Amino acid sequence: MNTQKWLRFTKRSALLLFVAACVVPSSAFAQDIEFTGYGALGAEFFDKNPLVDYNQNFYFEGKFQANFEYKKDVEAQLDFRGESEENRVSLREYSVKFKGWKRLEIEVGNKKKPFGLEELEQREDFVAIDWSHVNQQFEEYGFAGRTLGILASYEYEDKDPGYPFSYHFGAFQNNSNTSFALARGSYHSGPMRYSLGYAYQSRTKEDMIQAHAFSADIAYLLKDFKTGFEGFYVQDPIESIRRNDTAVYSLGIKHLTEFEIDIDGSFIEEIEPFVLVTYFIPDSELQEYNVIDVRFGANFYIDNDIFLRLNIDGLFTKTRYSDGYSTDGSSVVLELLTRFKD
């Protein structure tokens, strides 16, 4: 057995031992265990020059999540992900949740930073296949994505109308000397929701900077129809450092409308069309250079947890190096996704 094969074998064996160490003791002492996740396979076709980059991609991916309830008010979660591009399984999240208080939950672990609405969604539950363009940009800035931290939160419930609020307060720290804090609050009035958010990021060592981000959203939410707008004013820490600590702010606007149509067909039970539009300005002082992302599609439900997804994404980018808008990166994606819950 050569060195590379031995290393691969060792890594896989270590991962299996880690899973066993986490699951077996937990299974012995937990009051309840629930397994959830999804599997997906799809095909993507891009508007790209095939001489420069691939213009198609066929993929599969999956998620396996184990939720352990140790006692009435304590839960733990392990989240494993795998995808065909990397051809390996990795631990995406480990967290512990404490629920012993009214209108308060505290989580510690490798959690998403809920600066925007998409960070409150799961991949398998989000109406589109991919996250919006603005959310992907803010993850590059460090204002989205997962990292180690502590999060205090409460989600509004219809059965508790006397407290029409939701909130998230969090503090995070990663291994690259970056600290992060956020506060997000929502007010609920019937089908309407109004939210404001603020996030702070501090980087030390070579790339020292303090960056700020602000968000606001409004939504109209019914069981079979949802529509809303989000607005963002976010400091780009990477570009701010490059420009010798001159604060560079990006602007982002997002609109999402989705609705459900019951057709009760012999094969397709429900269709869920949507429209997702984002407008992103990398530098708020140079608004003539921007990115417009227009995405529309539908989910076709064979069952509540089995559905076909079609996304058509028009990505229009204008930079200082182009006379007009480029469509490079536009795509058509078809995916089959199945969710499971034990």
Alpha-carbon Rg for the chain in angstroms: 22
* pLDDT at position 90: 93
| Residues in contact with 229: Cβ distance below 8 Å, sequence separation at least 6, in sequence order | 217, 218, 219, 253, 254, 255
* pLDDT at position 10: 46
Alpha carbons 79 and 19: distance in angstroms, whole number: 11
* pLDDT at position 30: 54
Alpha carbons 254 and 138: distance in angstroms, whole number: 13
Contact between 62 and 80 under an 8 Å Cβ cutoff? The reply is no
Of the candidates 183, 178, 182, 181, the residue with the CA atom closest to the CA atom of residue 202: 178
Query: Could you give phi then psi for residue 276, rounded to 5 degrees?
Result: -125, 115
pLDDT (tens digit, 0 to 9) for every residue of the chain, 342 residues total? 454 544 454 445 444 444 445 544 545 455 689 999 999 999 999 998 777 778 899 999 999 999 999 987 999 999 999 999 888 899 999 999 999 899 999 999 999 999 999 999 999 999 999 999 999 999 999 999 999 999 999 999 988 989 999 999 999 998 778 899 999 999 999 999 999 999 999 988 777 889 999 999 999 999 999 999 999 999 999 899 888 868 999 999 999 999 999 998 889 999 999 999 999 999 999 999 999 999 999 999 999 999 999 999 999 999 988 889 999 999 999 999 999 987
Q: What DSSP letter does each residue of 50-83 carry, written as one string?
A: TTTS-SEEEEEEEEEEEEEEEETTEEEEEEEEEE
Domain boundaries, the chain: 1-29, 31-341
Alpha carbons 217 and 332: distance in angstroms, whole number: 28
Q: Is residue 99 classed as helix, strand or coil in its secondary structure?
A: strand
pTM of the model: 0.86
* pLDDT at position 304: 93
* pLDDT at position 204: 82
Q: Is residue 248 classed as helix, strand or coil in its secondary structure?
A: coil
How many Cβ atoms from other residues are within 10 Å of residue 45's Cβ?
14
Contact between 108 and 150 under an 8 Å Cβ cutoff? The reply is yes
CA distance to 62, 63, 81, 245, per residue, from 89 (Å): 9, 9, 6, 39
Lookup: tokens for 235: 């400091």
* pLDDT at position 76: 95
Q: Which amino acid is at 20?
A: A
The alpha carbon of residue 212 and the mean position of all alpha carbons in its chain are separated, in whole angstroms, by 20
Q: Considering the domain 31-341 in this protein, what is its CATH number?
A: 2.40.160.10
Alpha carbons 251 and 68: distance in angstroms, whole number: 40
Of the candidates 189, 196, 179, the residue with the CA atom closest to the CA atom of residue 116: 196
